A and B are shown apart, each in its own frame.
Chain A
Amino acid sequence: GAGVSQSPRYKVAKRGQDVALRCDPISGHVSLFWYQQALGQGPEFLTYFQNEAQLDKSGLPSDRFFAERPEGSVSTLKIQRTQQEDSAVYLCASSNRAVGETQYFGPGTRLLVL
């Protein structure tokens, strides 16, 4: 595929609302990563999938955050009962393998919780 795509690009949610962010990785890429980037900061690791297996979710900030990749391709990051501190850019990246391979980033979804 052309590159990593994410949707929506922008999302405004009311506090308490649930949101779902989608990531379409590069076709054939085994590994998929989610990051959270606060304004003026570098991205922070959230979770990592190898195919459909979620191998690391240590970066998820709370149990309101849930990610899945059921068929080893498209992934969804779900945030339940959104809070204002969840406002950030959520970046998705994919790579051919996990270790040492370049991660290719999508454009991100900018989430604003009011």
Chain B
Amino acid sequence: KNQVEQSPQSLIILEGKNCTLQCNYTVSPFSNLRWYKQDTGRGPVSLTIMTFSENTKSNGRYTATLDADTKQSSLHITASQLSDSASYICVVTHDYKLSFGAGTTVTVRA
């Protein structure tokens, strides 16, 4: 049923290191693809948004890529900080409906 698949389910990285999260989707057509960050006990907050024609979008240390042909997206976190510990959710929008992935839980350790 889920049209947005994310990997890995979770990962642990050392502070200062980089990591890349993956998202595959089957939602079609779509309006845009977003990456959200969800801290524990909080609602999701939008990090990046890309439309069909965009290949990459950056927001500080976060860089998202999109390959609309293969229906794949990635989120790269550079020089991770302890505050990056959160769940990162890939969200594909079709009209007003959002299809969420299950998220990747990132834990950054000192």
Which residues of A are at the interface with B, using a C-beta cutoff of 8 A?
A: 4, 31, 33, 35, 40-45, 48, 56, 91, 93, 98-100, 102-103, 105-108
**Cβ of A42 and Cβ of B97 under 8 Å apart?**
no
Q: Majority SS of interface residues in chain A?
A: loop
Residues of B near A40 (CB, < 8 A) are 102
Q: Identify which of B39-47, B58-66, B69-77 touches chain A.
A: B39-47
Known: A40-B102, A45-B97, A48-B96. A99 touches B41 (CB 8 A): no
Q: Are B44 and A100 in contact (CB under 8 A)?
A: no
Q: Can you list 8 pairs linking A and B with CB atoms under 8 Å apart? A: A31-B96, A42-B89, A42-B103, A43-B100, A98-B95, A99-B96, A102-B34, A105-B43
Rounded to whole Å, the gap between the CB of B6 and the closest CB of chain A is 8
Quick one: which of B34, B46, B96, B97 has the most chain A CB within 10 A?
B96
Q: Using A42-B4, A45-B98, A105-B43 as known contacts, say yes or no to A100 and B103 having CB atoms under 8 A apart.
A: no
Partner of B41, one of A102, A103, A107: A107
Chain A contacts for B101, CB-based, 8 A: 42
- In whole angstroms, how far apart are the Cα atoms of A54 and B68 in the complex? 32
Q: Is the CB of B46 within 8 A of A102?
A: yes
Asked if A42 contacts B100 (CB within 8 A), the reply is: yes
